[in-house]
Amino acid sequence: MNKIKNCIPKRCTLGGVEFTTKFIENAANGGKLGDSCTTDGSINIQKINYGLTQIHTQIQNTYFHELAHNIFGMLGRIDLSDDEVLVQGVGNMIFEFLRTCDWIRIEELKHNNESEATFSFQTLNQSQLK
């Protein structure tokens, strides 16, 4: 089940900073679809008012792009946060992961032998360790 269809976080905490998502109107945004600021804890999604419609997945993509900027920034890697290709790729990977996950409760997984996903352990003998 797609749990994040047509959704983005209203707020989240990252590295001890609470971020709030806002839709903003900024005619002088230089074509950006979003921006974010660690100082004020905002992830801003640009409202587009020039006759274009932003589809939900583009809004989500923008959100996760901005989240990736903040992940690198909170790790103290401003150099990586400034790398738009890396940020876009990481944001896309986070979004795709969350969008396509098929979640299962850990207790259900541990106790359900019929589950598609199972834990597998193998004990190695001494000769296999060499």
Specify the higher pLDDT residue, 64 or 122.
Answer: 64
The listed CATH number (1.10.3470, 1.10.10, 2.60.40, 1.10.220) that belongs to domain 11-111: 1.10.10
The predicted pLDDT at position 45 comes to 92
pLDDT greater than 50 at residue 102: yes
The percent of residues above 90 in pLDDT, for the chain, comes to: 46
The percent of residues above 70 in pLDDT, for the chain, comes to: 76
Rounded CA-CA distance 25/34 in Å is 10
Burial group, residue 12, by CB count within 10 angstroms (0-12, 13-18, 19+): middle
Region 94-106: mean pLDDT is 87
pLDDT greater than 60 at residue 118: no
Phi then psi dihedrals of residue 124, to 5 deg? -95, 140
Phi then psi dihedrals of residue 58, to 5 deg? -70, -40
Region 108-113: mean pLDDT is 75
Q: What is the mean pLDDT of the chain?
A: 83
> Residues near 90 by Cβ (< 8 Å), separated by ≥ 6?
68, 71, 72
Specify the higher pLDDT residue, 108 or 115.
Answer: 108
